[in-house]
Amino acid sequence: MSELDRVLIAGGGPVGFTAALNLARRGIPFTLLEGGDRIFDDPRAGTIHPPTLEMFEDIGVTKLFMERGFIVNNYHYRDRRQGLIADFDLNVLKDDTPFPFRLMLEQHKICYILRDLLKEYSGNEILMQHRVTKVEQDGSGVTATVETPDGEKTFRGRYIIGCDGGRSQVRKSMGVKFDGFTYGERFLVLSTRYDFGKAGYAITNYIADPVEWCAMFKVPGNDEKGMWRVVFPADAQAAPETIFEEASVQARIQGFHPKDGPYDVVHRNLYDVHQRVASCYRNGRLLIAGDAAHINNPLGGMGMNFGLHDAFNLVDKLGRIMLDGESEDILDQYDRQRRTVAEEYLQRQTIENKKNIEQKDAAAQEKFYDELRGIVADRSKLRTYLRRVAMIEGIERANSIT
């Protein structure tokens, strides 16, 4: 095959590796260009929703994920003062999906699993310390300018998929807008081995408070025995070293769940939070997916899943073009399908999640809690609600767009 039978992928995160595996399975060669020197294992996404498990099941990967992850059959919505408000039973989705649960598995482990599976395929390249800085296109393909340890190089392909994050150089080369906003606070993530499950918490918990809400969930961790992550809002103007100071960190967790002795905080991370969607996911042969196309706050665990859904959708269409001779017009359908659901579901739901968990109006907060109690008390209402937050409804909406 010539270089113009090859697809370039910018970015070696879960979306980039998912695109790569789907291309390899179709016999379409790829070159994956990742700016970092390794797969980073700092705390990032860790939730896999039912439709994502279904997609990976179709390519024989879900079993590998389940061997490494924690199954979440229910999740809690709590109030810091009142305690448990609603316990959401995901088994109500058993007639909608063969996977009526969430799976907790860190995104770097997803990358490791997909990378190892790619060793079964030849004719592909995974190049670390290769950062795409610019992309140009012509009538037959694309040329990516790449920073490498040996200096600047260029790579050719028929298409390029930008999976290179919120600061995507592929998106910038497309010249599209990335409209939205940045929150006036950052998110602080603290990881501890302390077992909150013994105190009655579910594996996934959203804990509302008008002053300091938090979200807490359990992931396998390095030893795969369990690591708890607790997420708090943090002052955007405060210096990181002040936020990370041990006394401050201990005060936050002790204020949320007091216990004798200090917490064993093994990792702390701080990041800015945005809500943005690209104005177009395609410019000719340049395509974007994942955080390059949309970013959002992580409450609800939707962002990575949306990116993985992008990759499955897009590679299916590239396969139909490159192998079956279909028109490139179906790439515009990719844009319509995935951008529409990012705007209608991803942005709307994650913005709503944050608004609810930090609600400062007491009457509005109690009204919301009553709504949640009513939902979990009615199986029909619960199924309708969970079909939306478990991302099933969004997939159906995307598939309905021609």
| pLDDT value of position 2 | 67
Terminal Cα distance for the chain, rounded:
32
The secondary element (H helix, E strand) that includes residue 362 is helix 362-377
The secondary element (H helix, E strand) that includes residue 181 is strand 178-192
pLDDT digits (tens, 9 = 90+) for 310-366: 999 999 999 999 999 999 999 999 999 999 999 999 999 999 999 999 999 999 999
Mean pLDDT of the chain: 96
| pLDDT value of position 212 | 95
Q: What percent of the chain has pLDDT over 90?
A: 96
pLDDT digits (tens, 9 = 90+) for 379-396: 999 999 999 999 999 999
Cα–Cα dist 390/385, whole Å: 9
pLDDT digits (tens, 9 = 90+) for 115-144: 999 999 999 999 999 999 999 999 999 999
Beta bridge partners of 294: 277
When the candidates are 3.50.50.60, 3.40.50.2300, 1.10.10.10, 3.30.930.10, the CATH number that belongs to 3-72+102-179+275-357 is: 3.50.50.60
* DSSP codes, 1-52: --GGG-EEEE--SHHHHHHHHHHHHTT--EEEE-SSSS---SS---EE-HHH
Least-confidence region, from 38-47, 65-74, 95-104, 289-298: 38-47
Q: Domain spans of the chain?
A: 3-72+102-179+275-357
